[in-house]
């Protein structure tokens, strides 16, 4: 018999017994209190549903335990891998340190050879004596490179992991410098041979040179004299001067005057003579008007020019002419910016840095 059937049978028996008691009470007078029948607690959930829930919980707990065990196993395996990698890393670091130490020791030995080679090359360059300025500059540049490499070699010793590679790099650069030095030596030897030949030729020509020296001196003196004559002959000359005071009328026309208080301008007219050996082209002709007091009339202190001897002079006014080696008539005007005193005045005319003429005039 199942538990459900047994439970149902007991329930029916209880109900039968209760009804028997009531009937007995009615027949025989016996009283049974049934007032608490309606206040009984609700029946518990069916046992079948409760067992199903307990089974689910057990399954979930088992799955969590299995998952936890799997994760713990994976974590343990991962830790083993990490420990293995850490040990390998430590071993590699030790191997690297040993390798660096070994390479550093080898680098020191090679570095000493490189240093000795650099010092030997520097000594060779110091002994080289060449009259050629360009070659001397090149040799000095190579010497500076050698000194730089020696400094780099000493500085690299502070880093063991870098020193060996730096030494081998410097060794290659040293080989290049040695090749360059050999080229210099061959070139210098060739120059020395050529100088020996030239020295022999020079000794042979010294006698001829001494014999011709006096002739050359005479030719030089004649050349200098000729150059001086040509230089003097190429200078321009101004003549036929006519320098006067000028009064400008309201109509714009000009009238000559010898009255100082009436002058508005000073004009100097002259002729620049022809000169076949003078250089043609545009030329600036400067006029300097010297007052009785010795000053130069000018409208600005910036009006100046350089003479052939390098002297700076003020000018009153200037004019540009196109000179083509032929006689050229020129007039230069100076507009007064101050009142003139009475007395003797001088007009100086300059071209190509020299005075080519002058004229005197009087204002009353």
Closest CA to 170 of 221, 108, 228, 257: 108
Give the model's confidence band at 22: pLDDT under 50 very low, under 70 low, under 90 confident, else very high: very low
At 80, list the tokens.
Answer: 């083993």
Residue 323 and residue 278 in contact, taking contact as beta carbons nearer than 8 Å: yes
Mean pLDDT of the 109-136 span: 70
| 173 and 245 within one domain | no
Q: What angle do CA 103, 108, 109 make, to 5 degrees?
A: 100
Report pLDDT for 202: 61
Mean pLDDT of the 346-363 span: 93
Give the model's confidence band at 305: pLDDT under 50 very low, under 70 low, under 90 confident, else very high: very high
Report pLDDT for 78: 84
Contacts for 117 with CB less than 8 Å, ≥ 6 apart: 174, 178
Report pLDDT for 138: 74
| 357 and 242 within one domain | yes
Distance between CA atoms of residues 317 and 292, nearest Å: 18
Percent of the residues in the chain that have a pLDDT greater than 90, as a whole number: 26
Mean pLDDT of the 19-23 span: 42
How many domains is the chain partitioned into structurally?
Answer: 2
| 251 and 142 within one domain | no
Record the pTM.
Answer: 0.40
| Domain-ending residue, one of 186, 205, 224 | 205
Q: Taking 80 as the threshold, does the pLDDT of residue 176 lie above it?
A: no
Distance between CA atoms of residues 159 and 169, nearest Å: 15
Mean pLDDT of the 148-174 span: 71
| Bridge partners (DSSP) listed for residue 58 | none
Closest CA to 173 of 117, 135, 134, 120: 117
Q: Taking 70 as the threshold, does the pLDDT of residue 222 lie above it?
A: no
The mean pLDDT of the chain is: 75
Q: Name which residue leads in pLDDT, 271 or 111.
A: 271
Q: Name which residue leads in pLDDT, 106 or 258.
A: 258
Domain assignment of residue 145, given as a range = 85-205
Report pLDDT for 19: 42
CATH number at residue 306: 2.60.40.10
Q: Taking 50 as the threshold, does the pLDDT of residue 230 lie above it?
A: yes
Buried b (16+ CB within 10 A) or exposed e, 249-265: eeeeeeeebeebeebeb
Give the model's confidence band at 103: pLDDT under 50 very low, under 70 low, under 90 confident, else very high: low
Q: Taking 90 as the threshold, does the pLDDT of residue 359 lie above it?
A: yes
Most confident of 18-22, 153-157, 187-191, 352-356: 352-356
| Domain-ending residue, one of 205, 228, 258 | 205
| 269 and 193 within one domain | no
| 356 and 242 within one domain | yes
Report pLDDT for 86: 77
Helices within the chain (DSSP H only): 3-28, 47-127, 133-156, 160-233
Mean pLDDT of the 286-297 span: 93
């Amino acid at each position: 018999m199942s538990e459900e059937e047994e439970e149902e049978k007991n329930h029916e028996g209880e109900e039968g017994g209760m009804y028997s008691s009531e009937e007995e009470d009615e027949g025989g007078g016996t009283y049974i209190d049934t007032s608490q029948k309606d206040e009984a607690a609700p029946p518990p959930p069916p046992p079948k549903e409760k067992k199903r829930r307990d089974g689910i919980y057990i399954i979930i707990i088992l799955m969590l335990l299995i998952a936890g065990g799997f994760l713990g196993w994976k974590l343990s395996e991962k830790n083993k891998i990490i420990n293995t990698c850490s040990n390998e890393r430590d071993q590699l670091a030790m191997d690297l340190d040993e390798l660096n130490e070994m390479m550093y020791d080898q680098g020191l030995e090679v570095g000493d050879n490189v240093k000795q080679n650099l010092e030997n090359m520097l000594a060779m360059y110091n002994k080289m004596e060449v009259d050629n300025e360009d070659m001397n500059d090149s040799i000095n540049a190579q010497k500076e490179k050698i000194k730089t490499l020696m400094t780099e070699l000493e500085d690299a010793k502070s880093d063991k992991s870098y020193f060996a590679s730096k030494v081998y790099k410097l060794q290659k650069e040293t080989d290049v410098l040695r090749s360059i030095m050999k080229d210099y030596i061959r070139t210098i030897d060739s120059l020395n041979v050529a100088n020996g030949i030239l020295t022999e030729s020079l000794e042979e020509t010294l006698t001829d040179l001494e014999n011709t020296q006096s002739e050359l001196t005479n030719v030089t003196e004649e050349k200098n004299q000729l150059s001086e004559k040509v230089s003097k002959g190429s200078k321009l000359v101004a003549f036929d001067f006519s320098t006067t005071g000028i009064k400008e009328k309201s109509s714009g026309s000009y009238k000559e005057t010898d009255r100082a208080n009436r002058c508005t301008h000073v004009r100097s007219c002259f002729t620049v003579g022809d000169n076949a050996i003078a250089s043609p082209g545009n030329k600036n002709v400067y006029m300097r008007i010297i007052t009785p007091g010795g000053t130069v009339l000018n409208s600005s202190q910036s009006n100046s020019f350089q003479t052939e001897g390098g002297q700076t002079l003020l000018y009153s006014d200037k004019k540009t002419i196109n000179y083509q080696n032929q006689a050229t008539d020129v007039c230069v005007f100076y507009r007064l910016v101050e009142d003139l005193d009475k007395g003797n005045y001088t007009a100086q005319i300059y071209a190509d840095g020299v005075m080519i003429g002058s004229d005197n005039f009087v204002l009353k």
